């Protein structure tokens, strides 16, 4: 449910944000927030009841952003403050299909856009990262990693999150 240009409330259920099945597709906030500016945070809140959207309990009413074992989920590559709260990132899949300079994160990828001054800031609170995988079989040891979160540039703050059963072929599995 889109409340305004700042707050998004997601009801319980599964959401597939990306299309395409090669592990290189993901929902890219760069194009969604290009005209937003940096000072106003963008907030994604999960855990709302589908029966009564005023009731929020992320543990009871799971909001799942899924990759269905074939898609990456979310990329943040622009100057934005993004707050993620009460969301489950599940079954994300990513492989390095962007070239040697593009490291991947299956569930959440945070990097700068072309302009080095456009650094994102992401706050991840009360979220779950489970059953995410990154595959970098085809590339050298300098690429890959971060099946849950890959931080290439910017800032990520993680608070009260659960990481469970995430795997990576090469380098850091979680972050």
Tens of pLDDT, residue by residue over 117-165, are 778 889 999 999 999 887 765 554 555 566 888 887 888 999 999 999 9
Reduced to 3 states, what is the DSSP secondary structure of residue 11?
strand
**Alpha carbon distance 48, 9 (integer Å):** 7
Residue 83 in this model has a pLDDT that exceeds 80:
yes
Specify whether the CB–CB gap between 93 and 51 falls below 8 A.
no
pLDDT attached to residue 64: 94
Q: pLDDT tens digits for 19-43? A: 554 444 455 554 444 444 556 788 9
pTM: 0.82
69 torsion bin: left (phi>0), alpha (psi -120 to 50), beta (else): left
What distance in Å separates the CA atoms of residue 77 and residue 87, rounded to the nearest whole number? Answer: 20
Alpha-carbon 162 to chain mean position = 14
């Amino acid at each position: 449910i889109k409340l305004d240009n700042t707050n998004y409330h997601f009801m319980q259920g599964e959401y597939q944000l990306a299309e395409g099945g090669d592990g290189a597709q993901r929902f890219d906030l760069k194009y969604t927030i290009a005209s937003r500016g940096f000072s106003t945070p963008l907030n994604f809140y999960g855990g709302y009841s589908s029966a009564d959207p005023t009731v929020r309990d992320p543990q009871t009413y799971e909001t799942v952003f899924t990759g269905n074992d074939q898609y990456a989920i979310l990329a943040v590559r622009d100057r934005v403050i993004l707050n993620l709260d009460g969301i489950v990132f599940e079954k994300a899949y990513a492989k390095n299909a962007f070239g040697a300079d593009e490291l991947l994160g299956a569930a959440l990828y945070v990097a700068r856009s072309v302009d080095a001054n456009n650094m994102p800031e992401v706050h991840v609170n009360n979220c779950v990262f489970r059953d995410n995988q990154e595959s970098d079989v085809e590339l050298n040891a300098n690429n890959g990693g971060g099946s849950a979160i890959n931080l290439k540039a910017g800032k990520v703050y993680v608070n009260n999150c659960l990481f469970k059963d995430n795997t990576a072929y090469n380098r850091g599995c979680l972050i």
